Amino acid sequence: MNRRMWVVLISAAALTAPLPGCIDHPATGPTAASQLSVEAELVQLRQRVGDLRTAVRMAGRLTPALEQELASITKGIETWQARSGRHDISFRQETHAHPVQAGGNGKPALAPRGGGGGTCTPCPLIIESIGGGLVCFLHYEGPCPRPGDIVGRICAYTCISLYVIS
């Protein structure tokens, strides 16, 4: 082979060889390209949570369509965590019992089921931490407590942590 042929062969080999950092190597971890994809997905998931928060506030409740979107977001979070091995965004289910409201005589002032007399505190639609790192969406609001109950209304939430909380 002449010198020119060698130059052509070496150039062709260099052009077809994978560049370091451009493909996943099991021994060395994710590449720069896949890390960008992971970050883009994280940004998109956080944006979807913000959009859902706005839509729930506008609707005044978690409609069936918005509930489906919440389920889709939580599934997306699980998938993202499995693929990235990270937990920068996560979700959990939480249940809260509202305290029993005291009446004018210091005794509980409770409403019977279906309303009428006393007070029944509604569950907050959305609970957020200061700074917005945690957003909880109401997905179940229990009935009003009955006279004599010591536990108030039960409120169940799906909470999404948007950042790593240490």
Helices (H), the chain: 3-16, 32-59, 64-84
Residue 58, pLDDT above cutoff 50: yes
CA 110 to chain centre: 34
Alpha-carbon distance of 122 to 103, in angstroms, equals: 17
Q: Taking residues 69-92, what's their average pLDDT? A: 94
Give the residue, 24 or 144, on which the prediction is more confident: 144
What confidence tier does 80 reach under pLDDT thresholds 50, 70, 90? very high
pLDDT digits (tens, 9 = 90+) for 94-123: 888 776 554 444 444 444 444 444 567 788
Domain boundaries defined on the chain: 30-161
Token digits for 95?
């249940």
Q: CA torsion, points 111, 112, 117, 122, in degrees to nearest 10?
A: 30
pLDDT at 116: 43
pLDDT digits (tens, 9 = 90+) for 119-139: 677 889 999 987 778 999 998
